[in-house]
Amino acid sequence: MKRFFLLGTGILLSFAVTLINTQAQSVAGFSTAASTSGMFSASSLATPRQVVAVHPRRRVITKEAAKDSIVNIAPAIARSDATQAHKLLFNEALHVLPGQCQNTLQNFYVKYEKQESRGLAGKSVMILDGTVEKDDELRALFIHESGHNIDLGCLTGTKESGKSAFSDSDEPIYNDDPSLQYYTISWLTSGVQKSNARPEDFVSGYASYDIWEDFSEGFAYFVLQNEAFAARAETNAALAKKYAFFRDVLFNGEAPQVATGLSQYKGKAPWDVTKLAYTWHPEMHVAIQE
């Protein structure tokens, strides 16, 4: 995973930069177009406000109602060029994200030619490589990139609060941006770690790259490998604070019961959270009545 402007074939770079330069936020309260430096890639390296969550409960519905629920796909996903099977996969993942951030994604693209990067995301845009073979990996990529959408497009501050020590290139991050609570655990500035930060203070190797990847890798780890995250947090103060941020600021004091992580921490952090095995069982799954 690298910063967007360092990546890509000429075609993907041109496509994504055009998106960034022309995209205008349509979510209420967000009128700034996504910046070039605000785009990030999910790993192409197999080597290398207060927000309230919605937790839908398991329920029994009829087959007819099930048909209706399949049609109810989020607009950004419905407009995308994803296959129907992938639309359903992404839509299901979208609805386990924090409730007030689910409309942040406005422009969603799935490319079915092999891409230099498996994923890119900014304030309200996401591009995924649809040639990723495993559904679990593709879902994990969507959740990781959604972390960038949430961080950059949902959790925002106000100009009146003043500029913080952090910035997205030339775009300031303001002092009342909720993400600062997370950044300042391990970082002095957007790309400079605190002197006492250690590799084990990050959920993955890639999370130590900068504040953006620290946030998105942490978000994916919290959603997909929650038990491992909680276990590591018991003996690591920095991870305990990061875990508490996702639980209390984004998920209303709860841990999402949507996946069972299958990875085991053995003293060394994985490089890429999206490559870790898990079993997916979101609460939104319904039992269809015969």
Q: How do residues 74-84 score in pLDDT, each as one tens digit?
A: 999 999 999 99
Indicate whether 280 and 171 sit together in one domain. Answer: yes
Structural domain of 163:
159-289
Task: Check whether residue 141 and residue 282 sit in a common domain.
Answer: no
Local confidence band at 256 (pLDDT 50, 70, 90 cut-offs) = confident
- Shared domain for 135 and 189, answered yes or no, is no
* Cα gap 273→269, rounded to integer Å: 9
CA-to-CA dists, residue 251 to 78, 114, 255, 280, angstroms: 26, 34, 7, 18
Q: H/E element holding 60?
A: strand 60-62
The two most distant CA atoms of the chain are separated, in Å, by 60
Q: Are 202 and 230 in contact (CB under 8 A)?
A: no
Q: What are phi and psi of 232, to 5 degrees?
A: -65, -35
Which among 131, 154, 177 is the end of a domain? 154
Residue that has been written with the tokens 């957007």 in this structure: 190
Cβ neighbours for 127, distance < 8 A, ≥ 6 positions apart: 12, 15, 16, 19, 108, 109, 110, 111, 115, 119, 120, 121
233 belongs to a structural domain = yes
Which carries the bigger pLDDT value, residue 47 or residue 132? 132
**End of a domain among 103, 138, 154?**
154
Give the Cα-Cα-Cα angle 184, 140, 108 (nearest 5 degrees). 90
pLDDT score of 64? 53
| Cβ contact 193:259 at 8 Å | no
Q: Tell whether 165 and 86 lie within a shared domain.
A: no
Say if residue 121 is in the same domain as residue 189.
no
Say what the pTM is. 0.78
Are both 11 and 113 inside the same structural domain? yes
- Co-location of 228 and 189 in the same domain: yes
Chain mean position to CA 267: 25
CA distance 194 to 178: 19
Domain count, the chain: 2
88-135 pLDDT per residue, tens? 999 999 988 998 899 999 999 999 999 999 999 999 999 999 999 999
| Residues 179 and 269 reside in one and the same domain | yes
Task: Please indicate, yes or no, whether residues 35 and 142 belong to a single structural domain of this protein.
Answer: yes
Please check whether residues 179 and 196 belong to one and the same domain: yes
Q: Is residue 50 part of a domain?
A: no
Contacts of 110 (CB under 8 A, 6+ apart): 80, 81, 82, 83, 86, 127, 128, 129, 130
Statement to judge: residues 111 and 169 lie in one domain:
no
Q: Are residues 178 and 278 in the same domain?
A: yes
Is residue 71 very low, low, confident or very high in pLDDT (cuts 50, 70, 90)?
Answer: low
